[in-house]
Amino acid sequence: MTERIIIDCDPGVDDAAAILLAFGSSEVEILGITAVAGNIPLEKTEANARLICELANRTDIPVFQGCGRPLLYPARAGVTVHGMDGLGDIGLPKPASTPAARTAVQFIIDQVRAAPGDVTLAVLGPMTNIAVALSIDPGIAPLIKRIVFMGGAAFCPGNIKERAEFNFYFDPHAAQAVMASGIPMVMFGLDVTHKAIITQERTERLKRLGSIGSTIADMLNAYGAGDPCLHDPCVIAYLIEPEIFSGVEGFVEVDCVSTLAIGQSVVSVTERELAGRAPNCLVMTEVDHDRLFSLLEERYQRVELEAA
């Protein structure tokens, strides 16, 4: 059965890889792409989302501009590994298309209201758009099918602070608001995404797929040093082939108070830790690397053929 999704993102090299994976997968129907500030400022994330659609000849998918700053804080510095343009500074053109007129927040509300229980949010960046939508229209919370997101670090160190992952750190209040919403959640934190490594040998194999594969490979090669982690593609891969991953049920909270641990995800899994609370999230911890890459390779090839 096809899963109807909204991709909420801050492209971002790994966001681009995730969006292109979705384009090649009939298991998901993309209702729209909503952009948010995160890896880079909003004007760039929104433009990058449109450009990714153009590269894959998928301009039928609307792109909506979302929130340009966190709920309570000024925008924090993004992650320089994505390059100044957010897509690895590999010389990609500027998009020719224009963003949709509606805001990302209104689009999310409208889509959920139009199809109660049938819309999944695939959240690849900070959760600001989702938190604002829930604040404006709290009644949509029980109408959202589920949220599958990249964010947090359950049982491992962070990547922006000692215990904080970037998406949660960028807007901790938004992350906590969403985690407390009662919506079914699936979490792809650093525990699993740091295991989703793509080797140089596999990156070279992507280049042989054609122009789309070569573009993805070039972005990945510019994305940090060594073998990069495929953080955001894990979210889309789970929606396509959930058996690639495994995890544990837990109760996830986000620290919004401490000056030392702001943005830290606090995950309770044992009976003692839960203290009578029901788990609010499926926390992914393991990935089958070979199956993940095989899926990527197959679906990027499909995007290549369909874009021709």
pLDDT tens sequence across 94-122:
999 999 999 999 999 999 999 999 999 99
Query: How is domain 3-307 classified at the CATH fold level?
Result: Inosine-uridine Nucleoside N-ribohydrolase; Chain A (3.90.245)
Tokens, residue 88: 């690895």
- Confidence tier at 1 by pLDDT (50, 70, 90): confident
72-81, 125-134, 223-232: least confident range: 72-81
DSSP letter at 288? Answer: -
Q: Please check whether residue 231 is in contact with residue 13, taking contact to mean a CB–CB distance below 8 angstroms.
A: no
DSSP letter at 43? Answer: H
For residue 77, pLDDT over 70 is answered with: no
Q: What is the largest CA-CA distance in the chain?
A: 56
For residue 207, pLDDT over 90 is answered with: yes
Cβ neighbours of residue 275 closer than 8 Å, sequence gap 6 or more: 268
Closest CA to 238 of 48, 25, 84, 91: 25
For residue 79, pLDDT over 70 is answered with: no
Rg (CA), the chain: 18
Neighbours of 131 (CB within 10 A): 23
Tell me which residue has tokens 């906590």. Answer: 176
For residue 254, pLDDT over 70 is answered with: yes
Tell me which residue has tokens 């926390």. Answer: 283
Tokens, residue 199: 């080797």
Helix (H, G, I), strand (E, B) or coil at 283: strand
Closest CA to 82 of 19, 18, 128, 16: 16
Say if residue 86 is preceded by a cis peptide, omega within 30 of 0.
Answer: no
Helix (H, G, I), strand (E, B) or coil at 112: helix
How many Cα atoms occupy the beta-carbon half-sphere of 93 within 13 Å? 6
What's the CA gap between 295 and 233, in Å, rounded?
10
Q: Model-level pTM greater than 0.85?
A: yes
Predicted pLDDT at 224: 66
For residue 75, pLDDT over 90 is answered with: no
Q: What is the pLDDT of residues 141-194, one digit of tens each?
A: 999 999 999 999 999 999 998 889 999 999 999 999 999 999 999 999 999 999
Neighbours of 116 (CB within 10 A): 13
Out of 173, 194, 231, 289, pick the active-site residue: 231
Residue 150, judged by CB atoms within 10 A of its CB (0-12, 13-18, 19+), counts as buried
Positive or negative: CA dihedral 253, 182, 242, 58: negative
Helix (H, G, I), strand (E, B) or coil at 89: coil
Predicted pLDDT at 82: 85
Q: What is the pLDDT of residues 157-168, one digit of tens each?
A: 999 988 899 999
Q: Answer yes or no: 231 catalytic.
A: yes
Spell out a b/e string for 74-102, using b for 16 or more CB atoms within 10 Å of the CB, else e.
Answer: ebbebbebbbebbbbeeebeebeeebbeb
Q: Please check whether residue 38 is in contact with residue 125, taking contact to mean a CB–CB distance below 8 angstroms.
A: yes
Domain ranges of the chain: 3-307
Average pLDDT on 279-307 reads 97
Average pLDDT on 195-212 reads 95
Compute CA 303 distance to the chain's CA centroid, rounded to the nearest angstrom: 19
Tell me which residue has tokens 């000692």. Answer: 162
Closest CA to 124 of 52, 226, 218: 52
Residue 218, judged by CB atoms within 10 A of its CB (0-12, 13-18, 19+), counts as buried
Predicted pLDDT at 225: 64
